[in-house]
């Protein structure tokens, strides 16, 4: 199946990003992370990245900001 949206390609390669509020995001590895987000897991498969997010992001509410 061909996907046209980079966030819906289950066969794609992704990064896991985290922001200053400790919120996590699945991000296509071929796109530069947006400003304010840090890579916490390097390029990996869709499901592996989702599993990483589930394991490390237990509280979905925003946490106090860290950094500047």
Single pTM value for the model: 0.79
Domain locations along the chain: 11-55
Specify the pLDDT at position 46: 94
Q: Is the CB of residue 28 less than 8 Å from the CB of residue 12?
A: yes
Rounded to an integer, the average pLDDT of 10-22 is: 93
Specify the pLDDT at position 68: 53
Encode pLDDT of 26-65 as tens digits. Answer: 999 999 999 999 999 999 999 999 999 999 987 766 667 6
Specify the pLDDT at position 47: 94
Which residues are CB-contacts of 3 (< 8 A; sequence separation ≥ 6)?
9, 10, 11, 12
Choose among 2, 1, 4, 52: nearest CA to 25: 52
* H or E stretch at 35: none
Architecture of the domain delimited by 11-55: Alpha-Beta Complex (3.90)
């Amino acid at each position: 199946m061909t996907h046209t949206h980079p966030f819906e390609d289950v066969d794609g390669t992704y990064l896991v990003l985290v922001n200053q509020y400790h919120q996590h995001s699945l991000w296509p590895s071929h796109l530069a992370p947006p400003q304010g987000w840090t890579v916490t897991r390097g390029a990996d498969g869709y499901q592996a990245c989702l599993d990483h997010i589930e394991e490390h992001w237990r509280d979905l509410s925003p946490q106090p900001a860290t950094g500047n």
